[in-house]
Amino acid sequence: MEKRTKPETRQQETAPEIPERPSVALIIGSEGIKSFCALPFIEYLQEQRIKIDLVIGVSGGALLAGFLGAGYNLRQIQDVFSKTVDPRFFTDVDYSSILGIANTGIGKFNAESGILKTDSLRKTYECLFKKTDISDLSPKTLITTTDLATGKPVILDKGNLAKAIYASSAIYPLMPPGNIDGQRLIDGAFSSPVPIMECVKRKIDIIIAIYFDDACNPEPKNFMESYFNTSRIFKRSILTSQLPLSIDMHHHEIIPVYIKHSRPIELWEINKLNEIVHAGKVAFTNKKAHFQEAVVEFKKKMQLRHEKQQKLKAEKELKETEAAREKKMQDNAVEKMKNPATKDAKLSDSQKQPQVEEKKRTFKIIKKRKNRTGSGA
């Protein structure tokens, strides 16, 4: 007797849902205090209740990202920064390092040294953020630094926030490197001034990348101004090589926001904060429509992708059904060729009974004829 098996039941596939909203990342690029140009963009996103899923800070942008993730509101950020960050932090020269550079035999300069003393700056960051861990920030925050030994970017997503912010903005050799887990880490701008690739890796849908620049000082009056001129040129070179590649690789929308100041704004010019924020407002006005279009365009793309997935799924199911039907027909044909009597074997008892009765009647008729023939002889 043939054993019957239950037909296989395929698990019903659920159609992928269309995301209700795109994921949004905000990159706050390097350039010291000028990173605060990003404040108007953050304000708009908050007013529109647009959730930021990821914030990446580089150099001065790391400080703003830390403020945002630690729960400071926009007014607090400006007030606290103005009151706690002292311009003298960036003019406190370490003369031992200077003598070491001059190779006088009195001072010293090595991989742990810097031209400036940064103890006060580090203590300020510690007072602001205490023992806050990067992994506890909301939204999720990444701090970009550079490994002094290899020149490669190091992305920090956990660990002491105050130390990470210092390391991300440590403009070596002007400032000593930060030491985190045995690595000497310096300004993230040396390796990735606007780390769009970190968002691309995480498949963020809309990336707002804010980066800054200002004119070089045509007549630098001292070492510091000369150094920052060189730094600007260096960062521009890295940016122009990395940004086009990142945009080409991204799958949805990148909104680059380039904010350029007509004159140099140096690291220690805290009194220019209002001017910097105003420049951010002007840039935001020019980019607001672009961002709104990006959200609409994202929804269109997701709808088209959903429709394409549904079509491919329907085509796949149709092919599977046709293949199963054809296989069943082939199996039946093979079975008949192997056992021609299969059809008779499958007849029911009610179908077989008339055939048996017919044979019995035929046998009786033949027997009677034989008997008649025998008696006549």
Q: Is the dihedral of CA 278, 213, 194, 167 positive or negative?
A: negative
Does the annotation count 187 as an active-site position? Answer: yes
- The crossing angle, in degrees rounded to 10, of helices 74-84 and 119-129 is 150
Tokens of 275: 């001017």
Q: Which of 187, 205, 214, 231 is catalytic?
A: 187
Does the annotation count 237 as an active-site position? Answer: no
Compute the C-alpha angle 83/89/93, nearest 5°: 165
- In the chain, at which residue ranges do the beta strands (DSSP E only) sit? 24-28, 54-58, 140-147, 153-156, 178-180, 183-187, 206-214, 253-261
Asked whether 188 and 224 are in contact (CB, 8 A), the reply is no
Beta strand pairing call for 206-214 and 24-28: parallel
Q: What does the alpha-carbon distance between residue 137 and residue 22 come to, in Å, rounded to a whole number?
A: 21
CB atoms within 10 A of CB 206: 23
Q: What does the alpha-carbon distance between residue 352 and residue 341 come to, in Å, rounded to a whole number?
A: 14
Compute the C-alpha angle 47/50/54, nearest 5°: 120
Q: What does the alpha-carbon distance between residue 199 and residue 62 come to, in Å, rounded to a whole number?
A: 16
Q: Dihedral, CA atoms, 56, 61, 66, 69, nearest 10 degrees? A: -50
Q: What does the alpha-carbon distance between residue 347 and residue 353 come to, in Å, rounded to a whole number?
A: 10
Q: What does the alpha-carbon distance between residue 265 and residue 12 come to, in Å, rounded to a whole number?
A: 61
What does DSSP assign to residue 160? B
Q: Which of 23, 30, 35, 59 is catalytic?
A: 59
Tokens of 21: 């909203």
Which residues does the annotation mark as catalytic?
59, 187
